[in-house]
Each structure stands twice: as C-alpha cells, then as structure tokens.
A and B are shown apart, each in its own frame.
Chain A
Amino acid sequence: MASKVIHAIYTDDDLLLQAVKQVRDARYNIAEIYTPFPVHGLDKAMGLESTRLAIASFIYGLIGFAVAIIMMNYMMIEDWPQDIGGKPSFSFIQNSPAFVPIIFELTVFFAAHLMVITFYMRSKLWPFKTAENPDVRTTDDHFLMEIDVSNHNVEELSKFLYNTGALEIKLIEN
C-alpha cells in the first residue's frame, strides 16, 4: 500500500494537545500519536472512543467470582469435606465467611490477568515484538504525530503543521 504520511515532532505535551485540536479542526486525519508518557486528555482531543476495557474487566471479575465459588464448593464441600476449627464443611453457606477471601482474591486475579491479556491482544503486543515507534526519540522527550497525507497538498500541510509549532516535519513514503 503506497500511502504517504507526515511525521511531525513536538517537544511539549501542551503544544501537542493544542496542535491536535488545530489539526482536527482543519480536517486532516491523524493516524497515530507516539508519546513518551500518557498525555492527560489526549484521547479526548483525538476523538478516540472511550475504552471498553472496564466492561471487559467487570465481566472477568464475575467469571473469577463464579469460578471461586464453584471451586470452593467442589473442594471443600462436595469432594472432601473436612472439619476445620469445629466448622464441619457440609454446607457452603455456613462456611462461606472462610471462602470470602478466596473469592475476593480470585475475582481480582481473574480481572487483572485477563484484562492485561486482553489489552495485549487488542493492542497487538506480545513478548519479543519489535518496537513500532518510528522515531526512537519518542521514548525520551519528543512527541510524534503521524498524519495521513492522502490527497492533501504536502506543501500546504507541512506549512500548516509548522504553524502549529512542530519542530520537525518529515514526509514518509511507505
């Protein structure tokens, strides 16, 4: 795919936020932004949809909750009832206070781990993956905005970006 993009580099997060607003107002399309740290309010400025990770995590928590209950019921009540501290395990409900910490832990465990895995899958990350960021300075103190050129005039776009305070503007042809 022969698409052209422009890389504009900024040195300040406030400047970047300002630029994002101007670029979007001018109806250019921002493909991606690379930043060294999470910039507060950037997702809203870029108009990204809010994450659905929270809903996923709630569902994972419920799964963990259910797994813990089924597991404790099988282990302690059905399969091998024991008399611990004078509390014979023949009834789940009467022994439930002892199970609450486990239920809690597994709820957190499932929610946390599955959420991280989901996040990796959604953002296409895995161990030993080569880094995608186009400019190594974005891991230090520079902010990079990638803008689709598509059928805009490159001259005009560069000039516009320069006016938004970009330090460096590069045309990349893939």
Chain B
Amino acid sequence: MIVGAIGLVYAFMAAPDTIEDVKEMLADDSHQDSEEDAVLENDIHLANPEHVEGDHLIAEENEGAGAHAEDAAHDNEHYEHLLHQLQNKPWAAVYVAAFFFFMIALGTLAFYAIQQAAQAGWSPVLFRVMDGITAYLLPGSIIMFILLALSGMHLNHLFIWMDPEVVAHDELIQNKTAYLNVPFLLIRAAIYIAGWNIFRYLMRRNSLRLDEATDDRLHKTNFKLAAGFLVFFLISESMMSWDWIMSIDPHWFSTLFGWYVFSSMIVSAVTMIALVTIYLKSRGYLEYVNDSHIHDLAKFMFGFSIFWTYLWFSQFMLIWYSNIPEEVTYFITRIEDYTLPFFGMVVMNFVFPVLLLMNSDYKRLNLFVIMAGIIILCGHYLDIFVMIMPSAVGESWFIGIPEISALLMFTGLFVFIVFSGLTKAPLLPKRNPFIKESKHFHY
C-alpha cells in the first residue's frame, strides 16, 4: 500500500512554508550580527490545528529593538557579555531544534539496525515506518554540518573554543587544541555523517530490492550491514556527542556523556516510531500492525525512559558527590539558572512515562501511548535544550519565539520529509523472511 493522500497533501502544504521559514530564520539571524541587539519577534501561526503533523508556519515580522544595547554605556563589559549571549540565542535555538530532530532520525536508524541484527520477528511490519523516519537523516545531518561549518566560520559563538582569542587566554583549551580545532571537527563530522548515510542508503536499498528478489541473500547482507553499522554507530555517536554537544562547554567533561545522549536519542526515536505508527494506523494504512506491536513499542519507551533516568542520575550523582569544581559548575549553572527545565525534564522523562506506561493494559491503548509519547518528546527536547543552552546563552535563556519557531520549523521539515519518505515505498516489506511471524505477532 502506498501512503498517498495524507502524505502528499501536507507535503505540499509544508514544503514552501518550511523553506521560506528557513530563509526567514537565517535572515533574522543575520540581523543579529549587526551591532544592535535585536530581539526577535516572529509571529508564528499554527495554521492547521487538526494535528501536530500539519503544522504550517509563517514567520511574519521581525522587529529589531535595541533595548539592551542602549543601556550599554553603563557597564560595557557586562552588556557585551549579555550581547554575546543574546546573539547566540537564536543560533542556539536553531541548533537545539536541528539536533533534536537529527537525533530522532539517527536513533531510529540505530533501532532499525538493532532489529535487523537481532533478527527480530515482531518488528518487520514496522520497518518501512522506520525507513520513513530515517529519510530525515540525510537532510538533518547536512543541516547539522552546515551549522557546525557556520560556527567554524565565526558567524556565531556557540563553540567558544573556536574563537582564537578565547583559546589564547585559556590554558585548558590550549591543551585540547590537538582534538578541538575547526578543521578536525569538520573532518570528523563529515566522517560520521558519511558513514551513517551510506549505511542507511545501503540498508534501505537492500530492503527495497528484497521485495523483488527471489532468494533471501539480501536479507543476510542487511543483517551484516546492520551489525557493522551498530559498531560504527556506537563509536561515532559517542564522539559525535563530545564534538557537537559536550565541546560547547569545553572545560567540562563526563565519561558517560555519549551513553547519555544515546539514551535520549533512542527513547525519542522509539517514541517517534510509535507516534507515526499510530497515526498511520488510524488513517487505515499498516493493516498488519496490531496492538501487540504498539505494546512492544511502548515497552521500549518505558524501558528506555528508565534507562535515560539511570544515566542522568549516574552522571548527576557522581559529580554532585565528588564536588570537584571544574565538574560541578556544569550542574550548578543548570540547577541555579535552569531550575524549571532541569527538574521539569526529569519529571517529564521519568515520572510521566513510568506512571502512564507501567500498566500492561495502558501500553496497548493508543491514547496513553500518544500522551506519554508527546510528553517524552517534549521532555527530550528540553533535555537537549538544557545540554546546550547553559553554555551557549548562560542565564539569559527563555523559551521564547526563536526557540519555538525553530522547533516548529524543524518539526515541519521533519514531518514533510518523513511522510514524503513514507510515500516512496510500499509500507509492507513483503519478502522479509520474518514478515509472516510479524503479521501474526501477538502477546
């Protein structure tokens, strides 16, 4: 079955708007570079209230208001600092949203590879849904690369170690320049991105060819590819999280950071798979998906939420207890300046999923899975927000128009690409050797 109508209708709806919005956002950002400290005022309309997918956003106006810079005569140094933070703010907002959706696509690819490598019998009916979500991997990772390259060209100050002046006065960063320098960062990023996308392309191509094939040879190839991808992924994902997130705060480090980002990634990915599956199912596609499949996805959501909390707490408690100055500053800024998002996300990512999804029967009810899923996705957006913002904008954070519009823009782009990706192939991988088992899967 080809997902026709819905995917395409709103593909056309979302496409021009998102691209316009990209331009709009970047235009706004370039205003920011002027001496004036412009506060963004984009008007966002959610034109399609029916469901989250159909978001359709228009950034209408932006006014520059030099509120802060005027007072700068007073205390130049302080305001310059503030100015830098506020100049960073829209960049960081775009960065957080871009990373969040990129992370979902990458996590989905990892989940897909796990299913392939484990020869799972329950999930093949969901493979094409996962393929659809990973369609965002290529654009998402290219956007990330562009953002990194722009930072490398000093268009913003997200990564303070990219600024030669800062490095000149900072011995700790000087010692790290062998690893933390712009060309090497970009080379590494290019390697990860190329690797992930090549694996994704090959697995997708084999999966499609398998539908037409007469033997199961390609299934074995995919099994090997998936296993190879997982090895490459775990190493590259860990390094990616150091490069792209941890290095924003170059003095601080945490040895389980890669795992921590991974847990956030995989739980958001599974949640997204569940939400897309339920949506498609409600539109009458995916006739073979039954509530046992949803139940299994919800189990993964539940389990990975607890896994995330475990890693979050392990990271927090060790640093809190040892109280070493260069480590503990990370949490001090977060707890003092970011009290609400910092603790709010723990409630959203742990308490809600645990209470909503603990009951076995609730895991089979679409309503509960959707509710928990939306809370988990918001919670993990906040998680990324709290990872990046404190080092990028310090205490002048606010979830305001730049953040929401960036989030909506990437939601639109993500949904457009994912659903047009879904339309490109039949939603049932018909020659997968496990497909019969998957169709009859019941708990």
What is the CB-to-nearest-CB distance from A148 to chain B, in angstroms, rounded to a whole number?
30
Whether B321 lies near A100 (C-beta < 8 A) is: no
Whether A97 lies near B360 (C-beta < 8 A) is: no
Q: Please indicate the chain A residues that have their CB under 8 angstroms from the CB of B313 in the complex.
A: 97, 100
Interface membership of B316, Cβ < 8 A = yes
Q: CA A85 – CA B320 in complex, angstroms?
A: 10
Q: Give B287-330 interface residues, CB cut-off 8 Å to A.
A: 313, 316-317, 320-323
Interface membership of A58, Cβ < 8 A = yes
Q: CA A120 – CA B323 in complex, angstroms?
A: 47
Give chain A's interface residue range (CB within 8 Å of chain B): under 10
Q: Please indicate the chain B residues that have their CB under 8 angstroms from the CB of A87 in the complex.
A: 321, 323
Q: Please indicate the chain A residues that have their CB under 8 angstroms from the CB of B316 in the complex.
A: 97
Q: Which residue from A54, A58, A85 sits with its C-beta under 8 Å from B321?
A: A85
Interface membership of A134, Cβ < 8 A = no
Residue interface mask A59-102, B partner, CB < 8 A = 1:
00000000000000000000000000111000000000110110
Whether A97 lies near B317 (C-beta < 8 A) is: yes
Q: CA A87 – CA B360 in complex, angstroms?
A: 41
Nearest A residue to B319, CB-CB: A97
Whether A98 lies near B321 (C-beta < 8 A) is: yes
Q: CA A101 – CA B360 in complex, angstroms?
A: 26
Residue interface mask B317-359, A partner, CB < 8 A = 1:
1001111000000000000000000000000000000000010
Q: CA A111 – CA B316 in complex, angstroms?
A: 26
Q: Please indicate the chain B residues that have their CB under 8 angstroms from the CB of A85 in the complex.
A: 321-323
What is the CB-to-nearest-CB distance from B135 to chain A, in angstroms, rounded to a whole number?
36
What is the CB-to-nearest-CB distance from B336 to chain A, in angstroms, rounded to a whole number?
14
Nearest B residue to A54, CB-CB: B360
Most A CB contacts (10 A, CB to CB) among B316, B321, B358 go to: B321
What is the CB-to-nearest-CB distance from B305 to chain A, in angstroms, rounded to a whole number?
15
Q: Please indicate the chain A residues that have their CB under 8 angstroms from the CB of B321 in the complex.
A: 85, 87, 97-98
Residue interface mask A93-130, B partner, CB < 8 A = 1:
00001101100000000000000000000000000000
Q: Give B350-384 interface residues, CB cut-off 8 Å to A.
A: 358, 360
Q: Give B384-399 interface residues, CB cut-off 8 Å to A.
A: none
Whether A86 lies near B317 (C-beta < 8 A) is: no
Whether A100 lies near B317 (C-beta < 8 A) is: yes
Nearest A residue to B316, CB-CB: A97
What is the CB-to-nearest-CB distance from A112 to chain B, in angstroms, rounded to a whole number?
16
Q: Which residue from B320, B322, B323, B358 sits with its C-beta under 8 Å from A58?
A: B358
What is the CB-to-nearest-CB distance from B385 to chain A, in angstroms, rounded to a whole number?
22
What is the CB-to-nearest-CB distance from A34 to chain B, in angstroms, rounded to a whole number?
24
Whether B317 lies near A98 (C-beta < 8 A) is: yes
Whether B360 lies near A86 (C-beta < 8 A) is: no
Whether B320 lies near A97 (C-beta < 8 A) is: yes
Q: CA A54 – CA B321 in complex, angstroms?
A: 35
What is the CB-to-nearest-CB distance from A94 to chain B, in angstroms, rounded to a whole number?
10
Q: Please indicate the chain B residues that have their CB under 8 angstroms from the CB of A97 in the complex.
A: 313, 316-317, 320-321
Q: Please indicate the chain B residues that have their CB under 8 angstroms from the CB of A101 in the complex.
A: 317
What is the CB-to-nearest-CB distance from B73 to chain A, in angstroms, rounded to a whole number?
42
Nearest A residue to B318, CB-CB: A97
What is the CB-to-nearest-CB distance from B327 to chain A, in angstroms, rounded to a whole number?
14
Report B's interface with A, CB cutoff 8 A.
313, 316-317, 320-323, 358, 360
**A97-B317, A97-B321, A100-B317 are known contacts; what are 15 more A-B pairs with Cβ within 8 Å?**
A54-B360, A58-B358, A85-B321, A85-B322, A85-B323, A86-B323, A87-B321, A87-B323, A97-B313, A97-B316, A97-B320, A98-B317, A98-B321, A100-B313, A101-B317
Sample (18) of A-B pairs whose CB atoms are under 8 Å apart: A54-B360, A58-B358, A85-B321, A85-B322, A85-B323, A86-B323, A87-B321, A87-B323, A97-B313, A97-B316, A97-B317, A97-B320, A97-B321, A98-B317, A98-B321, A100-B313, A100-B317, A101-B317
Can you list the 9 inter-chain pairs with the closest CB atoms, starting with the nearest? A97-B317, A97-B320, A85-B321, A86-B323, A100-B313, A98-B321, A85-B323, A97-B316, A100-B317
